Structure 1
Amino acid sequence: MRKSALVSVVLHTLLAVAALLWLLWYFIPMGNLLKVGITLLVLGWAGWIVWKNTGRHPVQANGEVADIDLPLLETQGPVVLVCGDGLDELFQQQSLRKTAQGWWIRVDNTDALGEWMRTLLEQQPRQAGQLSVMYACQPDQHQDEAVLRGAVKALRHQVFQAGKLAGFDLPVVLSCEFSGPETPWVVVRGDKPVIYPEDQTPLALDDWQQAGDNLGKLSILGQAFAFIQATLTDELVKTDRLSPAIQPFAVAFRTRAMPVTTQTLWSHWLWRRTCLRLPAGAQPAMPSRRFPDAVLPLLAPFAVSLQGGQRTRRLVLLIGLCALAALGFSANNNRGLITQVSTDLQRWYAIPMTHYEPKAQSLDALKQDVLLLERWQRQGEPMRFSLGYYPGQRLWLALQQAIDTYVPPSTPQTEAEPKIVRLDSLSLFDSGKAVLKPDSTKMLVNSLVGIKARPGWLIVVSGHTDNTGNAKQNQLLSLQRAEAVRNWMRDTGDVPESCFAVQGYGDSRPLAPNDTDAGRAQNRRVEISLVPQADACQVPGNHPPSSLDGDGTQH
């Protein structure tokens, strides 16, 4: 195999693998482990394809491997595969013939036409679009019409197979030579016959028949064309279940001096229809006149350099299918994304706002969706969601609108613990006395800096003693000491009387056991605290109405 053909096989295979893996890894939703397994299978398949195509060799009809190494067909013109009768005389023992307008390539066996086509495609795939087939027929070499029709039928089947390999229907040219008077090539394309005299400009049939004795040759040419239509063309176009009909691209025929016998198909045909018997002739034609070169300009507009043939067609088909599958998987992936976000939103709106715990869980799900969409907005959405279907912006907006409706649960307001300031009684009073010491002012100022009168709060001053002495005397002493502290605070801070409450507990509320000096010292104390009370510490003359007064008037 040529290097160019090997490169073509490898390139086509790599592109096919790239398309399949692109679809697999970027669009198909499945686990990575399964994707790795499928990737290995694809790579194995690609290796087998390369080995299969690079290891194949065309086989001749006798089973031998054909050793074909074509020269570089640098021409842009037609490349015609020639099979049929008289190829030795036609090619003069050569395998091909090059002209300024195209190439003629010899195919010795019609049944091997498909393998020859495969060889050409492997060695020079760019010439696939320039290929065509010519069947050379010499009816003077055939005595049985069934055998000739069988050969044409085999040609029809091989052309069909070669067309499948090339990726398009190959043009088929019929070239026939009959025994008879010497005439130039007649080429019929459609319904217009044109005469191509050697080294002269082409002539219409009417113009040619008026020159010399050409009029007498016209009946022979007419019968030759009728033979082609009734035998060769009929076999190509009639219905066959194995291969489709083939309409010949052009028909080229001529008559010339050839060895003649009375047992050939052409002789029988001519005798039955015209009662003519042609004299025998043995003058060989020049090799340059044997090819209907006039057909090449007709084939030229249909000869286009392509890359590959069937291999390229399959690659294009595969890439197209992968692209369509990618569109389908992208739409499915986006539908899944929409379903996921829609489910989260439906759950959000279905949960009442007062169900705080499930509502908070639903809110977390919405925030996760928003974070994901915002990251894709910054970095670009994954390819599996691209291809024009991605609805990220609309989903993000719907999620944000839902999140904005969230009302957090109100925090219950707990009543502030009353602030308690404890003062050592012996630091303020002498033992058993209820009169403040002269030096106690500094302690009172420093200790009571946080105790301020304000509406709705009651300043509670309570006195406490240890259990030493009489309990009744202790209760009275504790009350008197509380009143002394209350009076100091009232007079010093100009606090209204209504802001205070005075209590004396004696030894009824000890903080520590009275068994030790330290415990008794801890129990001898005066406590000042703030307690919330609606009607406490109000400005005189501005009393709020009670719940029983309604508008504040008495009844």
Structure 2
Amino acid sequence: MTGYPYRTLFVWIAALALFWLGACSPWSSAWNIGLATAVGLVACVALVMATRRIRARRAASRQVLAAINGALQALPGDTRRNTPLVLTVGESTGVLAQAFENNVVQITDAAIWVRVDEPARLKHIANALKRWRDGQGPDAVAYLVDADSAVDDAAFAAATQQWRTAVDEASRAVGYALPVCVAVYVAEVEAAQQACPWFGASGTLPPALNTLADQVCAATLAHARWVPHEARTRWAHHVARLDAAARWATADLLPGLADTKRGTRPINMAAFGLTMVRGTPTSASLVGRYVGAITGLAQPLPSGTPARLPLPDALLPGIAPQQMRRVLPRALAHAFVALTVALCAATAASAWQNRELIARVQADVTRYEAIPPANDAARVDALAAIKRDRDELERYARMGVPPRLGLGFYRAGARLPAINTLIASYQPPAPPPSMIELDSLSLFKTGSAVLNPGSNRVMFGALEMIKAHPNKRVLVAGHTDSVGSPAFNRKLSEARAASVRNWLADASGIPLSQFAIQGYGDTRPKASNDTDAGRAANRRVEITLIPDCRDARNSDSPKGQPACSFE
């Protein structure tokens, strides 16, 4: 793998996010569907952008790679890794045209120089060359500057900043700060007679850029020892121009490249050098005005044709070759980081949902236990919630814990036996009595149908029963023992039933139409009338709840008419 797998990583991250939303998310289904849709859209946009970037990189670097392959075809196979590879930038119609002519690649004894005419293509070509070299990116970027071609301060500063931004984008594309060497060419008519060396520094530049001019001046003066005696006067003129050009570069050129006020990273300035080439200096250029102001030297008349600019091989020895940077370990590390983040999110979601599950089960149990047995309807509702919890826990025990509750945090299964015990302990309340029997001796005197004073305390139980079932009719039946004539006993039992009925109707507020009375006399004994105990048991009033079986058209039946037949 030679290129960073952006698309594969995007798909991996999207798959992790979708899995988390589908299996681990604690949010509602609506939220999960909405977020999953958003993740899918973001992933599609990222894939489209990555595909466009790959196509743009291929289109921008296709010509360069073809030229490099053609130029290196006859060289050994390890040349691409052992020979320094330098991206060369600058003014395409000026300095680059003079250095490369019509070539895209120039091979010297020191390096392979690759021409880049447009700032926007620099990052694509740098990334493509890194892939071409199997993970070893370009070793440096050489910025070639023709000092005598710059005549406008604003245009020169804009061009410098444009290349400064392009170098920063290329550094981000390859994953490291590209070393930058700045090569300045100073035109001089008299330089045609000899090849001028490079003066400057390579490797580590001094923090104060203005000291570079002093170094250049010292180097040019030291070189004067090797200049023939008859040419030293002319060389002194060269020294003055080189010194002035170096001070112009350190005052106007290098600060623009080192500018970090526009959101770019500090540039990795690795080398700086000047050389004098045959050309036509002009007093209208920036460096010409600077040289004229400092030295007072007049510009010589144009003579000859401009020579081909030499590439700055002398600036490369201080720049260390780039190491091979494999993208697979970095991509695997990023994929592992995404997996770790997903696992942490899944763990947090599992812990939170397990806490919520246990809290919900405990709240249902607490609510059930707090309801008194008398309120059976509320207890049944609370018990239904506990049964739903029981069914859920049993399903987990039978089919496995889902991922959203797994990851070692599931503890609700231990509560299942206690929940089953609680459900089994539920006992429905006893059904309310459908009949209450009252002792006639506690209500009436012998042979009387008038309620005794204080007898209402005996009938409170019957009153509560009637109020609890307002939708049922009430049958009040009177019974006597066998003492006396049957006719008298039947009439007495019916009168006693009427007295009890009247009191219950007044006390409960229920209309008399809801009551029915019946006098049975001694026809339905409970015990033998031969003994005192048996006769006492037979003297009674029975209050019974019965369904209302009257037809609606009989709602105007006379008071006291039996609700149904009891014979």
Could you state the TM-score of these two structures normalised by the residue count of structure 2? 0.52
On the 8 A contact 1:76/1:305 being kept in 2, the answer is no
Match of 2:14 in 1: 17
Out of 90, 107, 122, the position equivalent to 2:99 is 90
The alpha carbon displacement at 1:308 in A equals: 9.3
Q: Distance in 1 between matches of 2:339 and 2:107?
A: 37
CA deviations over 1:451-481 (Å, ceiling 9, x no partner): xxxxxxxxxxxxxxxxxxxxxxxxxxxxxxx
Per the alignment, in what secondary structure is the counterpart of residue 108 of structure 1?
coil
Q: Distance in 1 between matches of 2:153 and 2:329?
A: 35
**Letter aligned with residue 258 of structure 1:** R
Match of 2:394 in 1: 371
Q: Distance in 2 between matches of 1:256 and 1:47?
A: 54
Alignment of 1:84-483 (within 5 A): 84-85=90-91, 86-97=95-106, 103-110=112-119, 112-113=121-122, 116=125, 127=135, 130=138, 133-163=141-171, 170-179=178-187, 182-188=196-202, 189-191=204-206, 209=222, 212-213=225-226, 221-238=242-259, 240=261, 242-244=262-264, 246-263=266-283, 264-276=285-297, 290-292=311-313, 294-295=315-316, 298-300=319-321, 304-305=324-325, 307=327, 325-347=345-367, 349-351=369-371, 358=380, 361=384, 364-365=387-388, 367-368=390-391, 370-372=393-395, 374-375=397-398, 381-386=401-406, 390-393=408-411, 395-398=412-415, 400=417, 408=425
- Unaligned 5+ segments in structure 2 are 70-78, 209-215, 228-234, 430-567
Return the index of the structure with the highest Cα Rg. 1
The alpha carbon displacement at 1:95 in A equals: 1.4
CA deviations over 1:234-275 (Å, ceiling 9, x no partner): 2234475x5447445223212223213232332322222123
Question: In structure 2, do the counterparts of structure 1 residues 396 and 133 end up closer, same or farther at CA, with 3 Å as the change threshold?
Answer: same
The alpha carbon displacement at 1:139 in A equals: 0.2
Q: Distance in 2 between matches of 1:116 and 1:348?
A: 73
Match of 1:491 in 2: none
**Letter aligned with residue 321 of structure 2:** A
Q: Distance in 2 between matches of 1:274 and 1:174?
A: 24
On the 8 A contact 1:77/1:130 being kept in 2, the answer is no
Q: How many residues align?
A: 387
RMSD of equivalent CA atoms = 5.3
Q: Distance in 2 between matches of 1:244 and 1:83?
A: 18
**Letter aligned with residue 81 of structure 2:** T
Q: Distance in 2 between matches of 1:272 and 1:313?
A: 58
CA deviations over 1:489-530 (Å, ceiling 9, x no partner): xxxxxxxxxxxxxxxxxxxxxxxxxxxxxxxxxxxxxxxxxx
Could you state the TM-score of these two structures normalised by the residue count of structure 1? 0.53
Per the alignment, in what secondary structure is the counterpart of residue 305 of structure 1?
coil
Q: Distance in 1 between matches of 2:207 and 2:396?
A: 70
CA deviations over 1:422-478 (Å, ceiling 9, x no partner): xxxxxxxxxxxxxxxxxxxxxxxxxxxxxxxxxxxxxxxxxxxxxxxxxxxxxxxxx
CA deviations over 1:329-360 (Å, ceiling 9, x no partner): 44443343333333334335435689897486
The alpha carbon displacement at 1:299 in A equals: 4.8
On the 8 A contact 2:351/2:409 being kept in 1, the answer is no
Match of 1:542 in 2: none
On the 8 A contact 1:117/1:162 being kept in 2, the answer is yes
Question: In structure 2, do the counterparts of structure 1 residues 281 and 330 end up closer, same or farther at CA, with 3 Å as the change threshold?
Answer: farther
The alpha carbon displacement at 1:191 in A equals: 0.8
Out of 46, 63, 71, the position equivalent to 1:68 is 63
On the 8 A contact 1:179/1:278 being kept in 2, the answer is no
Per the alignment, in what secondary structure is the counterpart of residue 178 of structure 1?
strand
Question: In structure 2, do the counterparts of structure 1 residues 174 and 19 end up closer, same or farther at CA, with 3 Å as the change threshold?
Answer: farther
**Letter aligned with residue 65 of structure 2:** L
On the 8 A contact 2:383/2:423 being kept in 1, the answer is no
- Unaligned 5+ segments in structure 1 are 194-202, 413-555
Question: In structure 2, do the counterparts of structure 1 residues 183 and 293 end up closer, same or farther at CA, with 3 Å as the change threshold?
Answer: closer
Per the alignment, in what secondary structure is the counterpart of residue 290 of structure 1?
coil
CA deviations over 1:166-209 (Å, ceiling 9, x no partner): 5665544322222366123522433189xxxxxxxxx9978993
1:81 aligns with 2:91: no
Q: Percent identity?
A: 19
Per the alignment, in what secondary structure is the counterpart of residue 254 of structure 1?
strand
